[in-house]
Amino acid sequence: MAEQVDPRQRLAEAEAILDAMRRGEVDAIVGSSQLMLVRMREAEAALRESREQFKAIIEQLPVGIGATDSEGRFIIRNSLMRHAVLDFIPSRTADPGTQWLSLDGHGQPVPEDQWPGARALRGENTSPGMEFVYSEPDGTQSNRLVTAAPFRNSEGRLIGAIVVEQDITARKRAEAELRLADQRKDEFLAVLAHELRNPLAPLRNGLELMRIANGDIAASNEARAMMERQVGHLVRLIDDLLDTSRIASGKLELRKRPMDVVEAVGVALETSRPLLASAQHEVRVRLPDEPLVVEGDPVRLAQVFSNLLNNAARYTGARGHVGIEARVEGHEVMVAVEDDGRGIPEEMLERVFEPFMQVDSGATRMHGGLGLGLALARRLVELHGGSIHAESAGTGRGSRFVVRLPAAPDVLVSSPGSPDSGDRIEGLRTLVVDDNDDGARSLAMLLETMGHDVRVANDGESALRTATVSHPDLVILDIGMPGMDGYEVARRLRAASASSPMTIIALSGYGQVADRERSREAGIDAHVVKPLDPAALEALIAALRAATSPDTRGR
């Protein structure tokens, strides 16, 4: 095995020989001395290679690193450290505060003699380091973590400092975003609790009013109307939350077709009318006589325009002015909603589209809602290939929201048929299945007022037994029941009544695409999300019974 060469030892031996030659003690180098010279040259080459390797290593490190002498002057450093500092560590420069700033827990500047490099030159170890704000010559700033340790020779004598500097800007930004997200989460939960509690008080009051009305029909009607409004408010809150979740997870399903934007605006005006009327706003509508055709989901685009109208109604003082217009501009359909309300500060024009963001967020909130309406509007418009932006001249000077959608070619605009109210079907043998007894019995009472013969079951097994005896025409079935769930109940009902034109409607709190698909696979005719609109239920029953009659179903 070849002898391992210790470069430092060989170099020391060679230097000793050269010193002897300089003093005249050696006249020539022969024999083993010549071999020594060869080894000296090998040692020099090995040292050069070792230095190059060391330089390559520290250059590739993702941090700035360097070593100083006892005065704080760098004797070696990589390019990252050369970019951050000049010849001396910052605490040894004339004016370090122009580029480096570190603050203590009270927001006061840390003196330079307490900075990591200065402490290391006194023999102190500064781990885990100190955070600095570093200013580039062009004014941009970044966050740096600086750590230093004493630099000692082989005898243990302090000869300088080892300094490490790391850019932590991305980490600090992520930490700030997490803190902001956590703050927004807390604010959102507080707002959600507030918004969910708000309708509960009038609902409870309405129930009490109806109990003590003593036959006062006017008082009962007023209480009922109030309760309907509050239930509608609760439904909208929950729908907004679910839509936000579906969009975030990419599970929102659009049902596009050629449609007239003017019709969607009309639906939105009708939907927002109670809120606009309660504030006594004057509503100005400017719509063309001809259709404005886009390829879109009529329900979702009506939701967009309704959200914009609701936003205008909330942020405009009583007896204000709200306007909506639609027209063709080039290859786009433009819909704008404007108001003369409180306006939007310039710095908030983009942020108003962030989820849970409100101009008056925090303890001073006056306008209610979860701050989801505009966020949903933007995402729905973007899913249609369009854009939405906000305009405002500033606080107190109103606002304008402009939606742009790609115009569709001139095609026939179809509208989904809806059963006529005169097609109401009465006298159906109906089975309501729900493990929530109050929910089941209240729905049964409602169906009985519609003229149906209703029976109730609170679990899957009793539902199957009841169906065997009553042979229902219509089954309204909860999905999320303990034991046998609604899907399994539906499958067994279908298997037991293969020749009967039974209509099965799933009534569930679950409304994702996957839930609807499971309902279809189980033989369920329609999947409806709670709470149920009685008028919509009646129309759905009529439509389904027509579609599942023996003539059309082949039974």
- Domain containing residue 100: 64-167
The DSSP symbol for 214 reads T
Is it the case that residue 24 has pLDDT exceeding 80?
Answer: no
How high is the pLDDT of residue 10?
A: 59
Cα 22 to Cα 503: distance, rounded to the nearest angstrom:
113
Most confident of 57-61, 149-153, 353-357, 361-365: 149-153
Cα 195 to Cα 192: distance, rounded to the nearest angstrom:
5
- The answer to whether residues 117 and 43 belong to one domain is no
How high is the pLDDT of residue 28?
A: 56
Interhelix angle 298-314/373-383, nearest 10 degrees: 150
Most confident of 122-136, 308-322, 505-519: 308-322
How high is the pLDDT of residue 286?
A: 95
Q: pLDDT higher for 508 or 74?
A: 74
How high is the pLDDT of residue 365?
A: 40
* Domain contains 504: yes
How high is the pLDDT of residue 187?
A: 67
* Domain contains 414: no
Looking up tokens 């969009």 gives 247
Q: 246: which 2 tokens?
A: 């579906």
How high is the pLDDT of residue 358?
A: 64
Looking up tokens 């886009």 gives 294
Is it the case that residue 160 has pLDDT exceeding 80?
Answer: yes
* Domain contains 503: yes
Is it the case that residue 191 has pLDDT exceeding 80?
Answer: no
Looking up tokens 């049902």 gives 255
Q: How many separate helices (H) and strands (E) can be counted in the chain?
A: 15, 18
* Domain contains 545: yes
pLDDT tens readout for residues 432-449:
999 888 888 888 888 888
How high is the pLDDT of residue 7?
A: 57
Is it the case that residue 264 has pLDDT exceeding 80?
Answer: yes
How high is the pLDDT of residue 293?
A: 92
- The answer to whether residues 146 and 275 belong to one domain is no
Cβ within 8 Å of residue 215, ≥6 positions away = none
Mean pLDDT, range 241-264, rounded to an integer: 79
Most confident of 29-38, 226-235, 462-471: 462-471
* Residue 190: pLDDT band with limits 50, 70, 90: low
How does the average pLDDT of the chain come out, rounded? Answer: 81
β-pair partners for 37: none
Please give the single-letter amino acid code of residue 417: G
* Domain contains 415: no
- The answer to whether residues 234 and 275 belong to one domain is no
Helix (H) or strand (E) holding 260: strand 257-260
CB 231 within 8 A of CB 531: yes
- The answer to whether residues 387 and 309 belong to one domain is yes
Cα 270 to Cα 302: distance, rounded to the nearest angstrom:
10
Three-state SS for 82? helix
How high is the pLDDT of residue 95?
A: 63
Cis peptide bond prior to 501, omega within 30° of 0 = no
Domain end residue (candidates: 167, 185, 211): 167
Domain end residue (candidates: 186, 220, 248): 248
β-pair partners for 103: 109
* Residue 9: pLDDT band with limits 50, 70, 90: low
pLDDT tens readout for residues 372-382:
789 889 989 99
Cβ within 8 Å of residue 104, ≥6 positions away = 110
How high is the pLDDT of residue 366?
A: 41
Distance, CA of 307 to chain centre: 19
CB 480 within 8 A of CB 508: yes
Cα 409 to Cα 433: distance, rounded to the nearest angstrom:
47
CB 33 within 8 A of CB 25: no
> How buried is 210 (Cβ within 10 angstroms: 0-12 exposed, 13-18 middle, 19+ buried)?
middle
Most confident of 219-228, 398-407, 496-505, 521-530: 398-407
CB 380 within 8 A of CB 303: yes
Q: How many residues are there in the chain?
A: 555
Distance, CA of 539 to chain centre: 36
How many structural domains compose the chain?
Answer: 5
- CATH (domain of 441): 3.40.50.2300
* Domain contains 413: no
pLDDT tens readout for residues 507-516:
887 777 778 8
- The answer to whether residues 265 and 396 belong to one domain is yes
Share above pLDDT 90 across residues of the chain, in percent, rounded to a whole number: 32
Looking up tokens 């509608």 gives 232
- The answer to whether residues 33 and 49 belong to one domain is yes
Three-state SS for 456? strand
* Domain contains 204: yes
How high is the pLDDT of residue 46?
A: 72
How high is the pLDDT of residue 364?
A: 35
How high is the pLDDT of residue 121?
A: 93
- The answer to whether residues 158 and 43 belong to one domain is no
Mean pLDDT, range 13-27, rounded to an integer: 64
* Residue 411: pLDDT band with limits 50, 70, 90: very low
Is it the case that residue 360 has pLDDT exceeding 70?
Answer: no
Checking 208-217 for CB contacts under 8 A at 24+ apart, the result is: none
* Residue 149: pLDDT band with limits 50, 70, 90: very high
- Nearest to residue 252, comparing CAs of 376, 116, 346? 376
- CATH (domain of 187): 1.10.287.130
Cβ within 8 Å of residue 170, ≥6 positions away = none
pLDDT tens readout for residues 134-146:
888 788 888 999 9
Cα 307 to Cα 313: distance, rounded to the nearest angstrom:
10
Mean pLDDT, range 301-316, rounded to an integer: 92
How high is the pLDDT of residue 107?
A: 81
How high is the pLDDT of residue 195?
A: 63
Q: Give the CA distances from residue 292 to residues 21, 102, 409, 411, in Å, rounded to whole numbers and listed in that order.
A: 102, 60, 10, 11
Q: 131: which 2 tokens?
A: 């955070």
The b/e string for 368-390 (b: 16+ C-beta within 10 A; e otherwise) is ebbbbbbbbbbbbbeebebebeb
pLDDT tens readout for residues 83-111:
878 788 888 875 655 688 888 878 888 88
How high is the pLDDT of residue 492?
A: 93
CB 231 within 8 A of CB 198: no
- The answer to whether residues 89 and 210 belong to one domain is no
- The answer to whether residues 269 and 383 belong to one domain is yes
Is it the case that residue 33 has pLDDT exceeding 60?
Answer: no
The b/e string for 76-91 (b: 16+ C-beta within 10 A; e otherwise) is ebbebbeebbeebbbb
CB 323 within 8 A of CB 364: no
Mean pLDDT, range 399-425, rounded to an integer: 66
pLDDT tens readout for residues 48-57:
777 777 777 7
- CATH (domain of 122): 3.30.450.20
Share above pLDDT 70 across residues of the chain, in percent, rounded to a whole number: 79
CB 92 within 8 A of CB 115: no
Is it the case that residue 537 has pLDDT exceeding 60?
Answer: yes
Helix (H) or strand (E) holding 323: strand 321-329
Three-state SS for 311? helix
- Nearest to residue 373, comparing CAs of 354, 359, 390? 354
Please give the single-letter amino acid code of residue 178: L
Q: pLDDT higher for 37 or 49?
A: 49
* Domain contains 416: no
Q: 1: which 2 tokens?
A: 């095995």
- The answer to whether residues 240 and 329 belong to one domain is no
Is it the case that residue 203 has pLDDT exceeding 70?
Answer: yes
Cis peptide bond prior to 116, omega within 30° of 0 = no
Mean pLDDT, range 364-393, rounded to an integer: 80
Checking 55-60 for CB contacts under 8 A at 24+ apart, the result is: none
* Residue 18: pLDDT band with limits 50, 70, 90: low
Helix (H) or strand (E) holding 388: strand 387-391
How high is the pLDDT of residue 14?
A: 63
- The answer to whether residues 73 and 124 belong to one domain is yes
How high is the pLDDT of residue 127?
A: 80
CB 333 within 8 A of CB 404: yes
Three-state SS for 170? helix
How high is the pLDDT of residue 319?
A: 93
- The answer to whether residues 83 and 153 belong to one domain is yes
Domain end residue (candidates: 60, 83, 100): 60
Most confident of 211-225, 404-418, 443-457: 443-457
Q: 32: which 2 tokens?
A: 């083993």
